Structure 1
Amino acid sequence: MDYEYAVKISGLVKTFNQKEVIRNCNMTVPKGSIYGLLGINGAGKTTILKILIGLLRPTAGLIQIFCEDIQVEKKEILKNVGSIIETPLFYEHLSAIENLEIHLSYMGVQNTDIQKTLGMVGLHDLGNQPVSQFSLGMRQRLGIARAIIHHPKLLILDEPINGLDPVGIREMRELFQELVKKHDMTILVSSHILSEIEQISDVIGIISDGSIVEEIELATIEKDFADGLEEYFFNIVNGGMIQNDKLIKT
């Protein structure tokens, strides 16, 4: 079966202590795209991502991943999802290879080339080194390796370039684009670095006060809005609106 969308969220609500942090939220992530999720701190980005991977239960709403309801088919769906949410955690005394072997066992996946995956994230010769000796950037690379090693259809990444130097940022940018083009993945990525999102994304979703207030193709922003993504984003979150393909500032 072919799917038009990788993720479809309708009417999502999440409350904590009787306070709505996600309210009537709708989101559509096209299959085979890189979807950049943008929002200021506290807007609800990480909460949505945690709900998508089953770490939080929604209060209300429908969440479909490849047309399957996450509430009904959670176990099967998550076999096809890889993720980094917040700071990745590992078994510190074990090597990178051993950490990945544990993850593969947990996912029920065999015959995966661990060394190849480590090479893809720039950890070519570090597979036998204990994670306790890894720098922040190396841990982030290993987290990305763990997210992709079971060949998921959907990759959910929350601030994936945290701790990476400029070389690492560029390498991961190229990796994400390759995963979509050559490995048939869809990527949903959240980042505070607007310039990075602008370089890799096909579609932009902007969340403000717990709801997606705008979904737009990056090509449309580039074509119709001369000031680019940064100015577009700040005006949207500050209450701007779109009228006749013009950004109306408020």
Structure 2
Amino acid sequence: MKSALMGSLKFQIPQLNFHKTLKKPRPSFLRGRPRPPLWRAKRLSTEAIQAIQSLKLARSSAPRLEEVFNNKLSRLLKADLLDTLAVLQNQNELDLALKVFEFVRKEGWYKPDILLYHAMIQLMGRNKMVEMAEEFFGKLENEGLKPDTRAFTEMIGAYLQVGIIDKAMETYERMKASGCDPDKLTFRILIRNLEDAGKEELVDCIKKECGKEAGGRFFLKISSAQNGKVAVADLQYHVLKCQKARNFAVSSCEADLISTLLKLQSRRAHASR
């Protein structure tokens, strides 16, 4: 009897396909790489962890969710509440993040903070909710905050996520007109997505502007390993003083510019020999 039962079990277990590993779809990331989990960068308090878990468990019941807000989130310290919001944003918990964001805005200590809006616009863009991203951009201005480079960049990214290139370029021009200079992230997002869309003329224009941004003064720390020892040197280079160097930066226009400046330094050293 026992042997028959064991034989039956051995026969049935493979049928359940426990040995198969489910393949998760690979998400696409606008910036080219996934965001690291927040818990790796910062240690969360026990209260924040419990609040996050309670929110997730109560999400399907409006009364239970309201109870969590009243009994748990209302007792959190400012830092813990902001950490809770950041984790929900990082984990792409859209509905919960929206509710916690509005809860934060109602707190007595709340003051308009552009960093909170950066994260919310990014979250909306990641979920291809362009209208809500525009709404948060409008709220930012309504609260007396001036959009900065990061806010414009996140809005550009939101448009590019859904292929609205005209709006993305309009926002890019508005950013420059407002006095905000595009940064490395702005150029990276624009060039990568415009190339994917086959917009070669726009890519060339952006690369030229990227090269012009390289025409200023850069202070970079470059690490080099020699004989097992790491030497850190400051590289100060005035590209505007060298027209050839400026043209080289325009033609190559690497997103982080570090590699470009290293090549320029190498060329300069070779020419002086």
**Structure holding more strand per residue:** 1
**Structure holding more helix per residue:** 2
Radius of gyration: which is bigger?
Answer: 2
**What's the TM-score, normalizing by structure 1?**
0.33
Q: Indicate the structure whose relative CO is greater, using CA pairs within 8 Å and at least 6 residues apart.
A: 1
